[in-house]
Structure 1
Amino acid sequence: MQKIFTLLFILLIVLGCETNDTGNTADKDSFMRLYGGSFLDEGHKVLQTQDGGYLLAGSMADENELSDMYLLKTNSTGDIAWHVTLGDSLNDYAFSFSLSDDQSVLVAGTTTLIGSNKTNALAAKVSGTGNVLWERNYGSSNNEQIKDVIGTSDGGYMLAGYTNAAGQHDIFLLKISATGDSLWSKTYGGSELDEAYAICHSHNGGYVLFGTSESFIEPGQASANMLALEVNENGVPIDRSTFGGELNDLGQAVFKTTNGYIFSGTTNSFGAGESDIFVVKTSTNIHDIEWSKAFGGTETETGNSVVQQADGNYTIAGKTDSYGNGSNDVYLIILSDQGNLIMEKTYGSTGSEWANFLTQTSDGGFIFTGATSHAENSMITLIKVDKDLEQH
C-alpha cells in the first residue's frame, strides 16, 4: 500500500494539480483521478454522461494478477458513484462500451476460457445505476478478441476485433441484439495478419472498421499498413483502403467527421522518430485522402484516440517518449481541419503514462483515460483538462 501513496504523491506534484488527499481538484473543469490497487490496472474508454459525470471502462487486476472487466461511474469531479467488475476467474478485459439514451451500458471486451486458455468475445449489459442485467461470451474454438463496440439503429450492437479462424488473424465483426443474442458474425482478411481496433458508423448507413493489415498491400507499401474497411449494415464488404509506406504502419482509431473520416495510429514509415503519430483525413470516400501527416519527436509516439471537436478541429491522444518527464508520457495534440498543429501538451511523471481514449466534454474541454505505471504497479488514470489542454 505504501507504494500506492508514493505513486499518488509523485504524480500529483508533477502533473501540477491542486489537490486534496483523494487526488482530485475542486474545479470540475480540471482534475486528475487515479483508480486501482497494487497490481496492473488500465482504463480504455471514457464518455461523459447526461448528468455531467463520466463512465469509464477498463481492467483491474487482483492479488493473483488476474484481470476483470471494470466499469466505473463518477460524478463531474471524478468521485465514484458506483463500480462493477465483470468476468470469470481468469483474465477478462473491457476495451470499449456503448452508452444508450437510457444511460444503460453495453461493455465489450475479451474473456479467457477456463480450461482451454482460449479467448472469446465478452459482452455485458449494465443499467445506468450499475446493476448487471446480463453477461455473455461469444466465439468458437478459435481465439476472438473484441476491441470496439457501437450501437446499431435497431437497438443492438456491433462488436469489432479479430480472430485467428483463418489467416494469422482475421478481422472479426459480430452483430448482437439488444438482449445479447448473437445474430451473425463475419470475418475479413487475407493470408496474413488483419486486425480491427475501431469501428464507426459510415456515411452510407453501414460501418467503417479500422485497424492493421499485412495482407493488403498497395504499390509503395510494405510490411503492415493501416486498413480502412467499409461494410454495409449486414456486414457485406463495400470498399477497402490502406494507408502507409515502406515500414510498419498501425491503425488504432477512427472518427466519423462531418464531411468524411479521420484515422489515427502509429507510423514507422514517416516522421522524424522511431515511430510517430500518423493521422489521415479522407472524404466520405475512404480512398480520397485529403491529407496525411506525422507528428512526434526523435523517439517513439503512438496515436491511440482521435475526436473531432465542436469547432471542426481534431484532437489526438496517445503517448510520447520524445517529450515530457518520464519513459512515456501522455501526449495530446490539436490539429486544424487542414492537419496543421495548433497545440500540443504532455502529462506525466518520472514513470510511464499513456492515454488510450479521449473525448470532448460539454464545457469544451477534454477528458481522457489510460494508465500510469511505476515499477510493477499501474493505475487507471482519469484526467480532465480545459479547451486549451490546461489543468488549473
Structure 2
Amino acid sequence: MELTVLHHKRHVARIYQLVILLALVFLGFSKTGFAQPAVLWDKTLGGAENDELSKVITTSDGGMLVGASSESGVSVDKSQASRGKFDFWIVKLSSDGTRQWDKRFGGTENDRLVGVQQTSDGGYILAGTSDSEAGGDKSENDRGAIEQKGDFWVIKISSNGTKLWDKTIGSTSNDIMTSMVLAPDNSILLGGYTTGTKGADKSEARLGRDVDDDIWIVKLSANGTKQWDKTLGTVYIDRLRNVSLTAGGEFLIAGDNALYRFSQNGNQQWEKAVPQNYPGSYLVEAFQTKDGGYILGLRTSEGRLGMHALKLDAGGNIVWSRFVKGRTSTAPYNSDELACIRQTPDGGYILAGASVSKSNADKSEDVRGVFEDFWMVKLSPNGVREWDKTMGGGGTDRPTSIELTKDGGYLIGGVTDSHMEYDKTTTHRGSNDCWLLRFAPDRADNKLSFSANALNFVARVGSPSPPAQTLVLNTSGGSPAVTFTKLSKADWLILPPAALGTVSFRVNPGNLAYGTYQVRIKASAPGFVGVDLDITMVLQPAISGRAVRINAGGKAFTAADGRVFSADRYYSGVDRVSSVTGDILGTTDDELYRNARTSAAISYDIPAPNGQYMLVLHFAEIYFGAPGGKPLGERQRLFNVNIEGQRRYTNFDIIAFTVAPMRVFRFELPITITDGRMNIDLTTGAADLPTISAIEMVPLEEYTRIIEVTAAEDATVRADEFASQNFGSSTLLDVKSGTGSSIDRYTYLKFPFVSINEIISAKLRIYGNNVETGSAINLSAYGIEDDSWTESGITWKNAPIQTNAALSTVDVSTTLNYYELDVTAFVRARSKSAQKGGGLTSIILKNPSARNRKLTFHSRENPSGLAPQLIIQTSGLYLNNIRTGAVEEEVVTIQEKESSVIYPNPVSGHFMLKLSDKHQGKVSLNISNELGQSIELPASDQPVQEVNISNLSLQNGIYLLKVQSVTEMEVLRILLVK
C-alpha cells in the first residue's frame, strides 16, 4: 500500500487502496534457534498506595531512572510525603537495580508523569499532565477554568534530583500530555491532545467540535521558554500517541491514524495516513528506522488480533506487516495489546505488550496467573519472529516502557499488583507498584548454571535430617562473586556459602508439620545471568515402628528407597520357593521379585499392634513366560486371596494385571487390625499354584504409595518432508537429532492422572535402546504446558514446544532395557494444576547433543505391553483420601469366563457396556476414582447398554466401574480422556 503525502494543513480524507500485496507471510516460530534473553534481575518499587510506572530510561552513569505517578505517602521505597493526589515520582537506580535516591514533585491535585529524559548536563526533564494550581512544587496556576483543568507541566531537575525550574503550558480548556522528546540542543517537544481553542499558551483555533480532541504539540527551549505550538487533526477526535526524533533531528508525530513530520522551527514537512487494516485499530508508537523508513506499532480492537508491527520504507510504502498473538478467542479479555516498539541494534524490533493469552501461535508460554502479563516479542529485520518471553506474577502486570541497554539487553517497566510469585521475585508494596525487569542481551555469554535444576529431599518428623545434597554451580567464564538468595521464606533450608563449584544444600525440618515445602533459590553475580534452583522437602509423618515388611521366599533386602524387608517369616504350609534370573519390569528392586514363595497353600500369621494399616501384596509371574519356565499361555496361574478370613479375589490372575511375565503388580488394601494379628491365606484356584513375592504392612499414616500411570497418548514427530505427517499409531517411538534432511525426531508423551497431594518422586520409565551403532546417546526429557495435542493429530508443524530447560537426562545404550528419567519437579507442578481442574502431564523426549543416532522405544500400541510409564511415589496423606467411601469387606471376583466389556476405552463421555453372561437381572453401576470417591450411575438389565458420564464433573484419569448384579460382581477399568 502506498501512503499518499498530503500538503501542510490538508486533512486526511481517505485511505487509498492497497497497490502492493504484503510480501511475506510469517508462520509461527522461526527455525533460526534464537533463545529468549535471560532475566538478570527484577525490582518492585512503590509505597503503600498506588504507584504507576510511566517511563524508564538508562542514564549516562550506567544506571537508570524510573518515572512514575504516585499517591503514596512516606512508606517502603518512597521517602517524601505526598503533595496532593497523584504526584510525579522518580527513582534513581544503579546498574544492578539498587535504589540510590527518589524524589517527589507535585501540586495539591493530580499530577501525572508521562515522560522523562536526561539532558546533556546530567540533569533530567520531567513532563506530564497537571490539574494543580500553584503550590507545593508547582509555580504557576492551571490555565483553564474550574471545570476545564489540566495542562502540560514540565520540570527541570539536576543530576541529584534538585528542582531547577518548572513550566505550566496550557490552553483555557483541558489539555492531556501523552509524550515528550528532547532535541540534540536540549530543546523540548511536548505532545498531547486538547479540547481547547486559541487562548492562553495555545496559538491556533480548535479544528473539531467543542467535545472533540485535537493533537497539540508545543516546542520549548532548553530553559523552558515556549518557541512555537501547532494544532493538528481533523474535524473528528484526534489524539497524539507519541513524538520522536528522526535521524536528522526533526520531529516525528504519531496520531491515532496519521504521521506528521516537523522541522525544528515548526514547519510541517508532510502528513501521511496510516492504514487501518482492521476497524478499531490505532497507532501506538512510530519511529524512524536505521534505513530511513519507519516502524509503526499498532493496537488492534480489544487486542484480539494481537500486537501489530508495520514496516514502511522512506516513501511510506508498506515493506511488511506482522501480527503476533497467542491463542485466539472471541472473549475480549483474551488479548495481546501492544504498549511499546523499538528497533534493536541488529536491525530487528522488540515489541512489548500486555497479554492474557495461552501459549499457541506466536506465544510459547501460558499466562502466569489470571490477568495480564508482560509479553516481549523479538522480530528480525524482515519481521520474522525470533523469540518471545512472558513475565508476570499472579495478578495484573502491564508494561508501559521498554528501552535498550548499552550492552544490547532490555529494560522493561510497567505497573503491577502481583505479589511475589511466578516470575516476580520481590514483594508487593501497595495497591499498584512499579515493576522493572533487566534482561541480558539475546546471546549473553556470561551465565551461571547449576548441574541440576531441582533438588528433592524426603524427611520424617522426629527423625534425623536427611543427608545433604550436592550439585555444581558453573560459570561460562571468570570467577565472579556469587550470592544465594531465597525467593520466599524457608527457614528449613540451610544455604551453603555462596561459591562456584560443588555446593551442598541441607534441610532441617525442626518443628514443622508434615507436608510438602518448596522454595526457589537464585544464584546471582554482578555482570552474569543468574540461575534458579527449585528445592522441595517432603516431610512425612513420624515412624511408629509398627511397619512389617517381608521378602517372601527370599533373604533380607533393602529397597532402593530405603525400605527394609526382613527374610521370609511368619509363614506356614509347604516350604517351597521359586526363583528366576533376569530383569524384572516395573521396578528398580529386581531382587525382591526374583524369589517368590510358591506352593499349594500359603498362610501368613503376622503379629501386629492393633490399628489401621495399608496391606501391600507384591506379585510377579516368574515362571510362565519367564526364563527357564514354560511358555506363556492364557489363565495358567489362578489362585484365591483371603485376608483376615475374607475372600478378596477368586482365581486371581497376575498376568491379567501385568500383561507380561517378569513384571511387578502390587495389590493394596487398607486393613484395620483389632486382634493383634494379620492373616493372609493364598489357596489353589482353577490353575497351578499360588505365589507371592513380598508383603508390606504399614501404618496408614506412614505409607508411601507407588502409582504407575501408563501413557494415554504417545507419538513421534519428524522434520522436513515428514513435517505434516502423523505417526501416532506407530508401535515404536523415535528420538534423533543431527544434521541433514529429515533427521530430527522428537517423541511426545501424555499421561493422565488425578490430583495427588504429596508427590515424593516421579520417574519416567521408557523401554527401548539405541538401535544404531556407537556409544550411549543422551536422552533428555522436557516438560510442556500445552496438553491440547492429540496422538492422532500431532505433527512436526503443530507440535507444542517446551517452555523450560531439560528436566533430566539419561544415556541410552544399545542394550534393550528400561531407562528412567527424573521428572519430579514438573509432575509435581502439573499435579497442582490437576487440583485446579487439570489432570494431564505432557513430556517431550529429545537428543540435544545431535549425535545422528536413533533411539527407539516401545509405544502404547506395541504388543509387548511395555508402554511409557510415570512411576509416582506419594505419601500417606494421599491414602487417607483413598479410604473415603471405600468398602473394606468387599469381595472382588475375577471371572472364570468372559468378563464384561467397555468400548470404546479410552472413554470421552459415552461408552457401551457389554455384560458378561454371569450377570442375571438388573445390574447396578458405580464409578469411583483412585481417591475412593464414588458415584452411582443409571443402569438397566439390557445385555448391552449405553452409559453416559459426560454430565459428571470428572477429570481425565483412571476410574473403576463396579458392576453388581444378584449373581456376580466385577470391577472394570476406565481411562477417561475428554
Q: TM-score range by the shorter chain?
A: 0.7 to 0.9
Name the SS of the counterpart of 2:266 in structure 1.
Answer: coil
Bigger Cα Rg: 2
Residue of structure 2 aligned with 1:39, choices 46, 49, 53? 49
- Tell me, yes or no, if structure 1 residue 239 matches structure 2 residue 239: no
Alignment of 1:166-205 (within 5 A): 166=206, 167=208, 168-203=212-247, 205=249
Which runs of structure 2 are paired with 1:7-26 in the superposition (5 Å)?
Answer: none
Post-superposition shift, 1:102? 2.2
1:141 paired residue number: 172
Cα distance in 2 for partners of 1:161, 1:275 equals 27
Alignment counterpart, residue 108 of structure 1, candidates 121, 127, 147: 127
Q: What is the aligned counterpart of 2:93 among 63, 69, 74?
A: 74
Q: Which residue of 2 aligns with 1:163?
A: 194
Equivalent residue for 2:335, pick from 300, 324, 335? 300
Q: What are the residue-to-residue correspondences of 1:352-371 with 2, within 5 Å?
A: 352-371=396-415
What one-letter code is carried by the residue in structure 1 that aligns with 2:55?
Answer: K
* 1:266 and 2:295 matched: no
Give the distance between the partners of 2:276 and 2:118, measured in 1 at CA. Answer: 33
2:104 to 85, 88, 95: 85
Counterpart CA distance in 2 for 1:267 and 1:236 is 32
Partners of 1:42 and 1:356 lie apart in 2 by 9
In structure 1, what is the equivalent of residue 565 of structure 2? none
1:373-384 aligned at under 5 Å gives the runs 373-374=417-418, 377-384=431-438
* 1:106 Cα deviation after fit: 0.8
Deviation of the 1:296 alpha carbon: 1.1
Cα root mean square deviation, aligned: 2.2
User: What's the TM-score, normalizing by structure 1?
Assistant: 0.83
Q: Deviations over 1:145-188 (max 9, x none)?
A: 11211112433111111111232111110001111111221110
Instruction: Sort the Cα spacing of 1:364 and 1:205 in 2 relative to 1 into closer, same or farther, 3 A.
Output: closer
* CA shift in 2, pair 1:66/1:158, >3 Å: same
- Which residue pairs with 2:387 in the alignment? 343
Deviation at 1:204, TM superposition (A): 5.4
Q: Percent identity?
A: 26
Q: Is the 8 A contact 1:209 1:228 kept in 2?
A: yes
Contact 1:58-1:69 within 8 A present in 2 as well: yes
Q: How does 1:212-227 map to 2 (within 5 A)?
A: 212=256, 226-227=257-258
Q: Is the 8 A contact 2:397 2:418 kept in 1?
A: no
Do the aligned partners of 1:384 and 1:391 also contact (CA within 8 Å) in 2?
no
Partners of 1:244 and 1:267 within 8 A in 2: no
Partner AA of 1:266 in structure 2: R
Q: After TM superposition, give the deviation of residue 339 of structure 1 in Å.
A: 0.8
Using a 3 Å threshold, how does the CA distance of structure 1 residues 117 and 79 change in structure 2: closer, same or farther? farther
**How big is the shift at 1:318?**
1.3
**1:227 offset after TM fit, Å?**
2.3
- Alignment of 1:278 with 2:312, yes or no, is no
Corresponding residue number in structure 2 for 1:251 = 283
Structure 1: where are the runs of 5+ without partners?
1-27, 213-225
Q: TM-score, normalised by structure 2?
A: 0.34
Q: Which residue of 2 aligns with 1:119?
A: 150
Q: Offset of 1:274 from its aligned partner?
A: 2.0
Offset, 1:241: 2.1
Where 2:239 maps in the other structure, the secondary structure is: strand
1:315 counterpart residue number: 350
Code of the residue aligned with 1:318 in structure 2: it is G
Check 1:249–1:391 CA distance in 2 against 1; reply closer, same or farther (3 A cut). Answer: farther
Amino acid across the alignment from 2:62: G
Asked if structure 1 preserves the Cα contact closer than 8 Å seen for 2:56 and 2:413, the reply is yes
Residue in 1 that maps onto 2:320: 291
Q: RCO (CA 8 Å, sep 6+): is it higher in 1 or 2? A: 1
Q: Distance in 1 between matches of 2:312 and 2:116?
A: 26
Change (3 A) 1:48 1:203: closer
- Partner of 1:228 in structure 2? 259
Residue of structure 1 in register with 2:378 after alignment: 334
Instruction: Tell me by how many angstroms 1:391 deviates.
Output: 6.5
Give the conservation status (yes or no) of the 8 Å contact 1:280–1:291.
Answer: yes
Once the two structures are TM-superposed, the CA of residue 319 in structure 1 deviates from its matched residue by: 0.7
Aligned pair count reads: 348
Please say if residues 332 and 345 of structure 1, whose CA atoms lie closer than 8 Å, have aligned partners that are also in contact. yes
Point out where structure 2 has 5 or more consecutive residues left out of the alignment: 1-37, 74-81, 134-145, 197-205, 329-333, 359-366, 420-429, 444-528, 532-978
